[in-house]
Amino acid sequence: MEGVPGKGPDGLASLFDLLEEGVALCELVYDEGVCVDYVVVDANAQYAAHTGLARADVAGQRASALFGSVEAAHLRECSAAVAEGTRVRFDVFSPRLGRHFSLLVVPMGPRSFGTVVSHGAAPGESHEQALETGRLAQRALLDNQPHLAWLKDVHGRFLAVNKIFAEACGLGSPELLVGKTDLDVWPRELAEAYRADDAAVMAAGRQKAVEEPIEGIDGTRRWFETYKSPVFAPDGSIVGTTGVARDVTERKQAEQRALRAEEERHKLELSVFQAQKLESLGVLAGGIAHDFNNLLTTILGNTDLARTVLPPDQPARAFLDDVELATRRAADLCREMLAYSGKGRFVIQPISLNQLVSEMGQLLSVSTSKKATFIQALAPDLPSVLADATQLGQVVMNLITNASEAIGDNEGTITLRTGALWCDRHHFLDAIGDNERLVAGTYAFLEVSDTGVGMEAETLSRIFDPFYSTKFAGRGLGLAAVLGIVRGHKGALKVSSRPGKGTTFRVLFPTHGGPAQAGEAKLAAARDLRGDGLVLVADDEAAIRTLARNILERAGFRVMTAADGREALELYKQHAREIRLVVLDMTMPHLDGEGCFLAIRELNPTVKIVVSSGYSEQEVVAHFVGRGLAGFVQKPYTADQFLGKICDIVHASE
């Protein structure tokens, strides 16, 4: 609230312009040692008004020119007062203006002085009465200006304040503040700050301007733009401070609202950018995995076919086994990429997170650093979640591995916790990626915390990028795959980390009311892998069409192939009576698998159609719910997997 009036419209210059008296800074003019006139160096608006001239025209003018003449006696009095450093007041008459003025001379230097000009006493009015009238006018002007104003001596005692300043201090009259200090008015901490400001202004000998919050007597906080400047004595010494404070609370609150809005906008932009980046990378990863799966299908299928024609003791079978092993490893990488894209191959069933962690206990223990203490805190009666056990196992392993690497060769603690909680939309605001798809409800969570090195904000923003690693060499998709798996399960992922304080990952999945499954796969019954009839196979990859033909023809089927959906539709129209089953790739030019499926079903609603894709079964089958899809074949596949699916459908219809 305190401070110094500036040179702007809200400073002391503005305050002086409101005074009824004219105020001017003057310089005596001597000729051969005799004072003959004085020059007005600067003046306020009222002084200029007294002369009848514009303010800009007053500066630099001699008094004799402004008032018509200056009596020699008055010049002698003025010169003597300046020389002695004493004040003097006298009345003068201006021939040019035709009226009397009261002139107060305040010495300021060897030849300079300040002068206050006011109207002279009216007929019948004493000089003292005129002065009192002037003081009342000054008080009225001071009290009616909208800003806080005050004057202090060198010890910080108030000499004068206006009414609005007194009211801000909780006092009804300005006179009640005279003689008091800031310590008598404000809390000690605030008062000491004001006294420090006063001392700084007097030490520097120049103006100071600040913006500061002040807590009023009613407890409300308001902002003031304050200006404070030193008060000089005629000999140049500093005898106090004076100031003006303007209430800028509304402006400050508007600035703070704008700043908060900008911060929220920036946060939203970052969130949108992160979601778009993850979505773009997901689309890229999914597309690469899909195309790569087509290549792996050809390699894996032909390897399987080659093995069937070799004698059991043929040495070349070992080479084929190595090819199959490498192909399956490549297929695992494809599954990670599809998981990151949210289109992984899932076998969905009710899963208990507690049971999953318990079954992985030994594996998790050996995966942690030898110097790390591994703690499990599993919540009892945890509801199950609908999930793929293998994929969730990958999530747990990746998080534990990440925590172990964060601890490194230092001693630390890794804590794995499970639990359940109700989550609304607000809970997901800081979730990674697109949180708009998440719905309120009960979620089971799995949380992995470590006391490792932690991460800075820049690193934290990149840890879900594919193949990103803080190590010298990356280890695959890592956390990117974790995020993809979580998104594919309609879950959420949250992470918090601070350098030197460790990191916490929490994955949340919607709960399911059904009982958790043990997860053991049932052995498939022996199947008849022979058949007959015409099968139409449509795929845009020539190698896959050739593979499918070789597999089916070796089993007794006749095969017709098409390079895209449009060609497949034309072939079906021509051979509809002969075709026993149709195999469609999901992604084909001209007419994709879904479009071709619908067109063929319009021609024959009972025809058996199987769809094949590198995307997950759940992702693909969702397009054909209620439309009579006969089956799905996941790429990449072996000869037995592909033939088994075809034969099962054919034999079921016999």
| pLDDT one-digit tens code per residue, 189-203 | 888 988 998 999 899
Tokens of 391: 């994929």
In this prediction, residues 411-433 reach a mean pLDDT of 87
Q: How far apart are CA 434 and CA 454, in angstroms?
A: 24
Q: What is the 3-state secondary structure (H, E, C) of 211-275?
A: EEEEECCCCCEEEEEEEEEEEECCCCCEEEEEEEEEECHHHHHHHHHHHHHHHHHHHHHHHHHHH
Q: Which of 228-242, 289-303, 639-653 has the highest mean pLDDT?
A: 639-653
- 119 in a domain, yes or no? yes
- 259 in a domain, yes or no? no
Q: State phi, psi for 551 to the nearest 5 degrees.
A: -65, -50
Residue 71 has what pLDDT? Answer: 84
- How many domains is the chain built from? 4
Confidence of residue 611 (pLDDT cuts 50, 70, 90): very high
Type of residue found at 199: A
- 290 in a domain, yes or no? no
Residue 144 has what pLDDT? Answer: 60
Per residue in 558-585, pLDDT (tens digit) is 999 999 999 999 999 999 999 999 999 9
Q: How far apart are CA 249 and CA 349, in angstroms?
A: 60
Q: State phi, psi for 197 to the nearest 5 degrees.
A: -60, -45
Q: Examine the domain organization and report whether 178 and 57 are in the same domain.
A: no
Q: Which residues pair with 634 in a beta bridge?
A: 613
Point out the domain boundary residue: 477, 512, 547.
Answer: 512
- pTM passes above 0.75: no
Point out the domain boundary residue: 206, 228, 247.
Answer: 247
Q: Examine the domain organization and report whether 94 and 176 are in the same domain.
A: no
Q: What is the 3-state secondary structure (H, E, C) of 114-155?
A: EEEEEECCCCCCCHHHHHHHHHHHHHHHHHHCCCEEEEEECC
Residue by residue, DSSP assigns 312-350 as: TT-THHHHHHHHHHHHHHHHHHHHHHHHHHT------EE
In this prediction, residues 128-156 reach a mean pLDDT of 65
Q: Examine the domain organization and report whether 378 and 501 are in the same domain.
A: yes
Per residue in 356-386, pLDDT (tens digit) is 898 887 777 777 777 788 899 999 989 999 8
What is the domain-level CATH number for residue 548? 3.40.50.2300
Q: Examine the domain organization and report whether 435 and 384 are in the same domain.
A: yes
Q: Examine the domain organization and report whether 557 and 613 are in the same domain.
A: yes
Point out the domain boundary residue: 220, 247, 274.
Answer: 247
- pLDDT above 80 for 480: no
Pairing of strands 534-538, 558-562: parallel
Q: How far apart are CA 412 and CA 397, in angstroms?
A: 18
Residue 518 has what pLDDT? Answer: 40
Nearest partner of 336 among 191, 161, 478, judged by Cα: 478
Q: How far apart are CA 156 and CA 240, in angstroms?
A: 7
With a CB cutoff of 8 Å and minimum separation 6, the contacts of 485 are 339, 344, 391, 392, 394, 395
Task: Kindly list the distances between the CA atom of residue 161 and the CA atoms of 9, 136, 183, 417, in Å, as whole numbers in the listed order.
Answer: 19, 14, 16, 66
Q: Examine the domain organization and report whether 165 and 236 are in the same domain.
A: yes
- 338 in a domain, yes or no? no
Q: Examine the domain organization and report whether 82 and 195 are in the same domain.
A: no
User: Element (H or E) spanning 290, and its range?
Assistant: helix 249-309
Per residue in 58-94, pLDDT (tens digit) is 888 898 888 888 888 888 888 988 988 888 887 777 7
With a CB cutoff of 8 Å and minimum separation 6, the contacts of 117 are 21, 22, 23, 24, 46, 47, 50, 101, 102, 103, 104
- In contact, 110 and 129? CB cutoff 8 Å: no
Q: Examine the domain organization and report whether 465 and 359 are in the same domain.
A: yes
Task: Kindly list the distances between the CA atom of residue 506 and the CA atoms of 412, 424, 432, 491, in Å, as whole numbers in the listed order.
Answer: 19, 16, 11, 11
Q: Examine the domain organization and report whether 25 and 94 are in the same domain.
A: yes
Residue 604 has what pLDDT? Answer: 94
The parent domain of residue 209 ranges over 142-247
Q: Examine the domain organization and report whether 123 and 185 are in the same domain.
A: no
- 557 in a domain, yes or no? yes
Per residue in 7-47, pLDDT (tens digit) is 444 455 556 666 667 788 899 999 988 999 999 988 887 88
- pLDDT above 60 for 467: no
For all residues of the chain together, what is the average pLDDT? 80
Up-side HSE of residue 618: CA atoms within 13 Å toward CB?
16
Q: Is the dihedral of CA 247, 251, 255, 261 positive or negative?
A: positive
Up-side HSE of residue 480: CA atoms within 13 Å toward CB?
30
Percent pLDDT > 70 in the chain is: 81
Residue 402 has what pLDDT? Answer: 85
Q: Examine the domain organization and report whether 356 and 450 are in the same domain.
A: yes
Q: What are 97-100's contacts with CB under 8 Å, separation 24+?
A: 97/50, 97/51, 97/52, 97/67, 97/68
Q: How far apart are CA 637 and CA 615, in angstroms?
A: 13
User: For helices 639-652 and 249-309, what crossing angle results, to 10°?
Assistant: 90
Task: Kindly list the distances between the CA atom of residue 393 and the CA atoms of 154, 348, 368, 449, 565, in Å, as whole numbers in the listed order.
Answer: 77, 13, 15, 17, 38
Pairing of strands 238-247, 372-377: unpaired
- 508 in a domain, yes or no? yes
Nearest partner of 635 among 343, 390, 395, judged by Cα: 343
- pLDDT above 50 for 153: yes
- 157 in a domain, yes or no? yes
- 523 in a domain, yes or no? no
What is the domain-level CATH number for residue 122? 3.30.450.20
What is the domain-level CATH number for residue 428? 3.30.565.10
Q: Examine the domain organization and report whether 47 and 85 are in the same domain.
A: yes
Tokens of 420: 């359940």
- In contact, 647 and 557? CB cutoff 8 Å: no
Residue 6 has what pLDDT? Answer: 41
- In contact, 58 and 79? CB cutoff 8 Å: no
Q: How far apart are CA 133 and CA 127, in angstroms?
A: 10
- In contact, 649 and 630? CB cutoff 8 Å: yes
Q: How far apart are CA 616 and CA 487, in angstroms?
A: 14
